Amino acid sequence: MARKNSSVLILGGGAWGLSTALHMINSGYHDITVVERAEQIPSQYSAAWDLNKIVRAEYEDPFYTELALDAIEGWKTPLFGPYYHQTGYVVAATGRAPPKAIHHLEKALSSISSHPTFAPEIRQLNGPEDFKNHTWQYTGPLTGFKGYFNRIAGYAHSADALRGIWEHCANKGVKFILGESAGKVVELLYGDETSDAGNAAFASSSTGSGPQAGQGQGRCIGAKTADGRDHLADLTICALGAHGASLIPSLGNFVVARCWSVAHVQLTEAESDYLRGIPTTNVRDLGFFFEPDPKTRLFKLCPLGTGYTNTGKDGISLPPGEVLPPPQDYIPLEDEQKLRQLLRETFPWMAERAFVEQKLCWFADTADSEYCIDFVPGTKQSLVVLSGDSGHGFKMMPSFGKWVLDLLGNKEQRLSRWQWRNTDSRGKDWSTSVSWRIGTPREVGDLVKAKSMMIKARL
Ligand SMILES: Cc1cc2nc3c(=O)[nH]c(=O)nc-3n(C[C@H](O)[C@H](O)[C@H](O)COP(=O)(O)OP(=O)(O)OC[C@H]3O[C@@H](n4cnc5c(N)ncnc54)[C@H](O)[C@@H]3O)c2cc1C
């Protein structure tokens, strides 16, 4: 087991970095520093920087069903509970859904319908009337809708959860270094691979868990921030979400930064009250939405699709930086159309309203949707990478840090599915093979061009 007095540097104060800090401090580590480029948490660069995320346990793979079930128990504790809303979860496909969407829905349902915890909590919805009987606020035609309601699910207020766990960790003694200068990591620092420089706590084992050593650059001894300061540590944990490959380029061989659209409708107080308590609703061929946020009265929607990448000349996709600014308050037309269709089917009174706070939200995607929680090969277990959330990592926030402790305790990643991968899938487009994604993948650069053409056409 790694020593509890080791200095630990966590890069990134998003969902997984904070969960790791929480579990580490609770387990007795006491020298933990989180370095985060945003001025405050939640960070605008985090995939979880918005109102809410779905919390549900339906998975095609029972392994994740059990993990999500455990995480849901975590969401019900006093620490996480204020951010969890068990509104239930409606999953549907329209009468026009392609077979892939229907197949995914059926597989997700079968993953929980025979599960002892979920079985009594599921209600099949076999047509528009069933949906309306269940949720009286659905007033649209719900054309050909079929699906089910699962009571043990809902959503978590993601921005509030990040803020709450940040404050909790800071109160417990985790140090935070924040801001574009002091907190933005620009480089990982490596010592001489052959020397025993630094604390040997993490160097004692030679059983590298990655399939092949030598990919790192020797022992990682910390990180440099934009203000030029070196932060030395016995163990460095890289939890940069979609930005991971900016510091560990070989991660970009199998992890792709991909983004999805997010949009909101600004509701009045009365409208927000009217929709209070609606289930989180996921229409597999269109998109999903949540109960409105009572504070801001924003109603959040996300279209479902294959997302967009930003691939550089080296074949690695990273979120756009200063060179290619992401389009502001904009989502692609095809996504807007899907969301308007989703509203026409469910809440037609909202269907033509302006979308506000539109954005593209970046996450770290892998071909098999498996996470990567492992030591970076060739770094003598001095560098851990947490990546590959694949768009389903927020719900795991209450539990996630436990799995990092398991890695440190076992000195290797025993679950092959979460190991570092030596595959190089750059240039290969696997996004459409992911069972629940429908559509044609595109590059974000094309969206920027389309947006500027649209603006020029209007002038
Ligand atoms: C549109 C969308 C919808 C989603 N919906 C769901 C859902 O319904 N349910 C669900 O479970 N999950 C969902 N997810 C996925 C979820 O948001 C992610 O799995 C989760 O946020 C991953 O956490 P993370 O800590 O790995 O990354 P992040 O939360 O992105 O955190 C990374 C952190 O690193 C920081 N950082 C980046 N670069 C640097 C640097 N150089 N120096 C210092 N700090 C840096 C960032 O500011 C950020 O705070 C969704 C994601 C998107 C994009």
Does 241 contact ligand 1 (Cβ within 6 A)? yes
Does 403 contact ligand 1 (Cβ within 6 A)? no
CA neighbor of 22 nearest in space, from 399, 434, 349: 399
Domains of the chain: 1-54+78-83+157-254+367-428 (3.50.50.60), 89-152+256-365+434-459 (3.30.9.10)
* pLDDT per residue rounded down to tens, the chain (459 residues): 468 999 999 999 999 999 999 999 999 999 999 999 999 999 999 999 989 999 999 988 889 999 999 999 999 999 999 999 999 999 999 999 988 888 888 888 888 888 999 999 999 999 999 999 999 999 999 999 999 999 999 999 999 999 999 999 999 999 999 999 999 999 999 996 544 444 434 433 233 333 333 355 799 999 999 999 999 999 999 999 999 999 999 999 999 999 999 999 999 999 999 999 999 999 999 999 999 999 999 999 999 988 899 999 999 999 987 544 556 678 999 999 999 999 999 999 999 999 999 999 999 999 999 999 999 999 999 999 999 999 999 999 999 999 999 999 999 999 999 999 998 888 777 666 666 666 677 888 887 666 666 656 655
User: CA–CA separation, 315 vs 327, rounded Å?
Assistant: 22
Does 46 contact ligand 1 (Cβ within 6 A)? yes
Does 45 contact ligand 1 (Cβ within 6 A)? yes
| Ligand 1 atom 16, closest CA | 394
Give pLDDT, residue 9. 98
The tokens of 117 are what? 């915890």
Give pLDDT, residue 320. 87
Pairing outcome for strands 52-55 and 154-157: antiparallel
Ligand 1 atom closest to Cα of residue 16: 25
Instruction: Give me the residues paired with residue 299 across strands.
Output: 265
* Residue 15 alpha carbon to ligand 1 centre in Å: 6
CA neighbor of 223 nearest in space, from 36, 364, 397, 386: 36
* Residue 93 alpha carbon to ligand 1 centre in Å: 27
| Ligand 1 atom 35, closest CA | 12
Give pLDDT, residue 425. 81
Does 388 contact ligand 1 (Cβ within 6 A)? no
Does 38 contact ligand 1 (Cβ within 6 A)? yes
Does 42 contact ligand 1 (Cβ within 6 A)? no
* Residue 14 alpha carbon to ligand 1 centre in Å: 6
Q: How many residues does the chain have?
A: 459
Q: Percentage helix, strand, coil, to 5, in the chain?
A: 30, 25, 45
Concatenating the DSSP letter of every residue in 346-378 gives H-GGGTTSPPEEEEEEEEEE-TT---EEEEPTT
| Ligand 1 atom 37, closest CA | 240
| Ligand 1 atom 19, closest CA | 393
Does 327 contact ligand 1 (Cβ within 6 A)? no
CA neighbor of 25 nearest in space, from 168, 203, 172: 172
Give pLDDT, residue 201. 41
- Residue 376 contacts residue 210 (beta carbons within 8 Å): yes
- Please give the C-alpha separations between residue 397 and each of 20, 48, 433, in angstroms, as whole numbers: 9, 11, 27
CA neighbor of 364 nearest in space, from 24, 20, 47, 13: 47
The tokens of 292 are what? 């409105």
Pairing outcome for strands 122-125 and 146-150: antiparallel
Give pLDDT, residue 199. 44
User: CA–CA separation, 382 vs 205, rounded Å?
Assistant: 11
Pocket-testing residue among 176, 260, 363, ligand 1, by greatest number of atoms within 8 A of Cβ:
363
